[in-house]
Structure 1
Amino acid sequence: MTRATLDKQPHEVASMFDDVAANYDLTNDVLSLGQDRRWRKEVAKAVDARPAQKVLDLAAGTATSSQPFARAGAYVVPCDFSLGMLRVGKKNHPWMPFTAGDGTKLPFRDDVFDAVTISFGLRNIQDTDQALREMYRVTKPGGRIVISEFSHATWAPFRTVYEEYLMRALPPVARAVSSNPDAYVYLAESIRSWPDQPTLAGMLQKAGWSKVAWRNLTGGIVALHRGFKA
């Protein structure tokens, strides 16, 4: 079994997600206490996919996150660098155009997508700044980016309880429901080390995105960032 480290070597991260692909969606549902369903709904609202629009769902995994955009009539491309995730996704959704790709070097032309979104995957990419620039490159002028990512709870007492859950409760729960519980130790560590909401907003602006804003979900455990390509 593979466990990535915080230097996020791409082959380690991809192999780790290959290991957990079969039970990934179920494990997330258990570990988030069902909150992941609400977070996906909020992402869908923020992306606001329309018929005939092209949407890139980066770090899409098994494409659970892609389904709301497809139901809205958009042409959705689920993209991930874990072949194990893509295989599970293709088995479940054989009609979708699954694409293998690295977030730092996307296999798409410039100015292709009306919207680019990534949910709980940006922190797993080794070079965040490069990934944000790549997402900007493949987005059409006037298009948008929506990032859903674990972040930092805004109320200090709640933040303490949440971090205790991450480091103490999450690993034993993961051992009960996941094929690779060590992967969820990495998950907890990567969440704790991830930049806070204003820092990520600054990174988006540096990559060229305009009108950058964010809003917190579940007390700041998750943040939705959005920006536009001028």
Structure 2
Amino acid sequence: MTRASLDKQPHEVAAMFDDVAAKYDLTNDVLSLGQARLWRKAVARAVDARPGEKVLDLAAGTGTSSLPFTMAGAYVVPCDFSVGMLREGKKRNPWMPLTAGDATRLPFADGVFDAVTISFGLRNVQDTGAALREMLRVTRPGGRVVICEFSTPTWAPFRTVYSEYLMRALPPVARAVSSSPDAYVYLAESIRAWPRQPELAALLQEAGWSKVAWRDLTGGVVALHRGTKPSE
């Protein structure tokens, strides 16, 4: 079993996701109690991909998160640094332009995408600020970013229950349904260590994004952050 540590060494995180690739989407549906699909729909609405637009989907894994954008008529590049996840995605959707890449050193030219999005992946990047600056670099002026990430529940009693679920219930459930349950212990720990909503908004602004705002989903279990690249 592979388990990444919270210093998020890229090779550790990539190896961990390689291990869970085959059952990753199924496990997420079970552990999120079916909410993962609703969160994906919220991301698709926020990105609002249009025919002919170019969308970069970071931490795309098997490419499941990219499908709504292709259905909207956009040209989507699913990008991930886990080769195992990309291989699994290629089996399912061989037509997708799945691309290996590190979010802190993206293999794309400046200003080529109308929108950049990342769902449940920014938390696993070693340098959050560097990733946000790279997203800005590859986005055209006036383009947009949408980040969907686990966050902090806003209602204190629920926050306590949620924290207990993460650390007590999630690992045994993961053992039952996942090919690598240790990966989900890291998942729980990384969620608890992640910045709260206003802190992530501040990081976006520091990276150069404007019009930064967020919306809580499922009571703040997940937050949807948005920003715009300033026009030149």
TM range (shorter): over 0.9
Q: Secondary structure at the match of 2:64?
A: coil
Aligned counterparts of 1:93 and 1:204: Cα–Cα separation in 2: 32
- Cα deviation, 1:16-56, whole Å, max 9, x if unaligned, reads 00000000000000000000000000000000000000000
Structure 1 residue 140 and structure 2 residue 114: aligned? no
Over the residues paired in the alignment, what is the CA RMSD in angstroms?
Answer: 0.3
**Letter matched to residue 112 of structure 1:** V
Residue 229 of structure 2 corresponds to 229
**Letter matched to residue 209 of structure 1:** W
Structure 1 residue 25 and structure 2 residue 34: aligned? no
Aligned counterparts of 2:12 and 2:123: Cα–Cα separation in 1: 14
**Letter matched to residue 43 of structure 1:** V
Residue 101 of structure 1 corresponds to 101
1:95 CA drift (Å): 0.5
Structure 1 residue 158 and structure 2 residue 178: aligned? no
1:151 CA drift (Å): 0.1
Q: Secondary structure at the match of 1:105?
A: coil
Aligned counterparts of 1:163 and 1:144: Cα–Cα separation in 2: 32
Aligned counterparts of 2:179 and 2:215: Cα–Cα separation in 1: 33
- Cα deviation, 1:172-206, whole Å, max 9, x if unaligned, reads 00000001000000000000000000000000000
Residue 115 of structure 1 corresponds to 115
Residue 213 of structure 1 corresponds to 213
Residue 9 of structure 2 corresponds to 9
1:106 CA drift (Å): 0.2
Q: Secondary structure at the match of 1:66?
A: helix
1:158 CA drift (Å): 0.1
1:114 CA drift (Å): 0.1
1:110 CA drift (Å): 0.2
Q: Secondary structure at the match of 1:49?
A: coil
**Letter matched to residue 105 of structure 2:** K
Unaligned residue ranges in structure 1 (runs of 5+) = none
1:214 CA drift (Å): 0.1
TM-score normalised over the length of structure 1: 1.00
- Cα deviation, 1:76-100, whole Å, max 9, x if unaligned, reads 0000000000000011011010000
Aligned counterparts of 1:228 and 1:96: Cα–Cα separation in 2: 26
Q: Secondary structure at the match of 1:55?
A: strand
Residue 77 of structure 1 corresponds to 77
Unaligned residue ranges in structure 2 (runs of 5+) = none
Residue 183 of structure 1 corresponds to 183
Aligned counterparts of 1:229 and 1:87: Cα–Cα separation in 2: 32
TM-score normalised over the length of structure 2: 0.99
- Cα deviation, 1:113-147, whole Å, max 9, x if unaligned, reads 00000000000000000000000000000100000
Residue 48 of structure 1 corresponds to 48
Residue 129 of structure 1 corresponds to 129
Q: Secondary structure at the match of 2:43?
A: helix
Residue 204 of structure 1 corresponds to 204
